[in-house]
Structure 1
Amino acid sequence: MSRTRIAIAVSAAAVLITAAACAPQPENTAGSAASGSPDCAANSPALHRRGELTVATDSPAYAPWFEDNNPSNGKGFESAVAYAVAGKLGFGRDQVKWVVEPFAHSYAPGAKNFDFDVNQISITPQRAQAVDFSTSYYKANQAILTLDNSKFANAASLEAFKGARIGVQVATTSYQAVLDQLKPAQRPSVFNTTNDEVNALKNGQIDAIVTDLPTVFYLAGSEINQAKIVGQFGYAGGTPEEFGLLLSKGSGYTSCVNKALDALKADGTLAELTSKWLSASANVPELKQ
């Protein structure tokens, strides 16, 4: 889910805690490497527990990020990414230990009981004042959500939405993406909250919602019965939502995690996992004009 918006009330509270608990630090959205050469070995003193890689996520853990609410089974995009990172770092599957960390607590300042947290956590400068982030492991596309009985449910192109009534949330990239990519005959309706646009879809005030793909996954799985994810599309404008692995501020293991992610990007593993778990298995086609 788009944790930036779905959990906005909780996130706002966490930001207040952050502001009160720690003085501002230099902005860092891609992690901070330890001084000198990092010790990335499985018995590194930078680890929460030597000889183990402790990975956190929230509970329940939703599909398609995880499957069966069981992060340790290696199924689902973020579970698969965590084990792929662990492999590049030299850990076997039996050396990966999972712990529960509520989303809003993850980026609060203070000591952590994990090495990294994987939980659809958007990289933001404000959060990075209190924690480290790895480089991005996922950049969210825009996606289109409608009801499964809608005349747009089986649309195979962006052009098919020219006559649709589109809803977007205020202050998001989605508004301009709709204007530039879908080019509807009427301007999109703008809503203050996700709940407002969901209610508008249910009540027939709009034909479809356009938002980032993680939010669409969440809405289709938890908020809207008989929802249909029509497809996804890329948008180069605006600021894309990017997810990073979260580590404690100044972690000596941040640069190690970044090297592992770089290797997964270079050998094509990350692209394969993205396709397998977030496109193919979730049946979200890429829509073109």
Structure 2
Amino acid sequence: MIIRRTLLAGLAALSLLPAVGLAAELPDLKGRKVVVVTENAYPPLQFVDPKSGQAIGWEYDAINEIAKRLNFKVEYQNTSWDAMIQAVSDGQYDIGMTGITIKDDRKEKVDFSDPYMRSEQFMLVRGDEKRFSDAKSFAAVKDALVGAQPGTTPFYTAAYEVLDGNEQNPRIKLFETFGATVQALKTGDVDTVLTDGTAGKGYVDSSNGGLKLVGGPLGTEDFGFIFKKGSDLVAPVNAAIAALKADGTLDALTKKWFADYKMGQ
């Protein structure tokens, strides 16, 4: 669950450790293979470029740089969000990435890296929406629907922060991917989707007035990579995350993928 899936008005990579001497201290994993799994369904963190067919995004760039600095070879695999946490817990993959929110209940199944990103959720709506302007007024419109992926942070925020705390509330319409929720919003099948502010701004900027963000932030979350419990990769990856933050690499990736990127869906 991702985030899962939600993310940030002032999206910023977190400050993790001091800079001095980190590069020299990074472990050498001696070219070992590390299998990284993702969903490729949450732009701009990870997605398939419709023009090139290549899987790209913030997390791909980050993992590729971590692999370079730690000297390991990455093999990327793809799976659904629903299967990811259990598959990593079972050791089918070494690392999972897909904007996964660090939560205590998930820590019972997997280990998390240190946070690499912080995000806030906002309500994305159609540009001509006038019935509501925030979570409270949305809840008062009894036939208004919210689209979400089951088990994700936006799903739980919709249930507990926007609606009445009932996860079975029929006003939450479920979809398999985040992109499908946005498409349903555009076609009028749902009336709002929760997303991070920066990614949401990308959708708004590319919509020619068809979409807008309303209301204030509905919650803050930290994202981390996931590993099988007890994985020997956690400490090296944490050291690399700290180094990438310290030398400005994470900030540069955020600018590349969030500040400069315009969502195309």
Please classify the TM superposition score into its range, dividing by the shorter chain length. Answer: 0.5 to 0.7
1:246 aligns with 2:229: no
Distance 2:214 2:60 in 1: 22
Q: What corresponds to 2:157 in structure 1?
A: 172
Q: What corresponds to 1:41 in structure 2?
A: 28
Amino acid at match of 1:81: A
Q: What corresponds to 1:230 in structure 2?
A: 212
Q: How does 1:186-265 map to 2 (within 5 A)?
A: 192=169, 194-195=172-173, 209=192, 211-213=194-196, 228-230=210-212, 235=217, 240-265=220-245
Distance 1:279 1:173 in 2: 26
Q: Name the SS of the counterpart of 1:195 in structure 2.
A: strand
Q: What corresponds to 1:137 in structure 2?
A: 116
Distance 2:36 2:98 in 1: 10
Structure 1 position 144, deviation (Å): 3.8
Give the alignment's Cα RMSD to 1 decimal: 4.7
Structure 1 position 130, deviation (Å): 1.4
Q: 1:2·1:212 contact (CA, 8 Å) conserved in 2?
A: no
Q: Which has the larger radius of gyration?
A: 1
Structure 1 position 203, deviation (Å): 6.0
Q: Normalising to structure 1: TM-score of the pair?
A: 0.55
Distance 1:100 1:283 in 2: 21
Alpha carbons of structure 1 residues 278 and 234: separation in structure 2 relative to 1, 3 Å = farther
> Once the two structures are superposed, what CA deviation does each residue of 1:87-133 show, in whole Å capped at 9, x if it has no partner?
23234xxx321122332333227432333111122211111111111
Q: What corresponds to 2:84 in structure 1?
A: 106
Distance 1:247 1:277 in 2: 24
Alpha carbons of structure 1 residues 78 and 4: separation in structure 2 relative to 1, 3 Å = closer
Unmatched runs of 5 consecutive residues or more in structure 1? 7-37, 44-49, 153-160, 177-187, 285-289
Q: What corresponds to 1:53 in structure 2?
A: 34
Structure 1 position 53, deviation (Å): 3.0
> Once the two structures are superposed, what CA deviation does each residue of 1:179-222 show, in whole Å capped at 9, x if it has no partner?
xxxxxxxxx8769454299989976996xx473418976xx69x
Structure 1 position 175, deviation (Å): 8.7
Distance 2:156 2:84 in 1: 25
Q: Normalising to structure 2: TM-score of the pair?
A: 0.59
Unmatched runs of 5 consecutive residues or more in structure 2? 7-24, 140-145, 147-153, 175-180
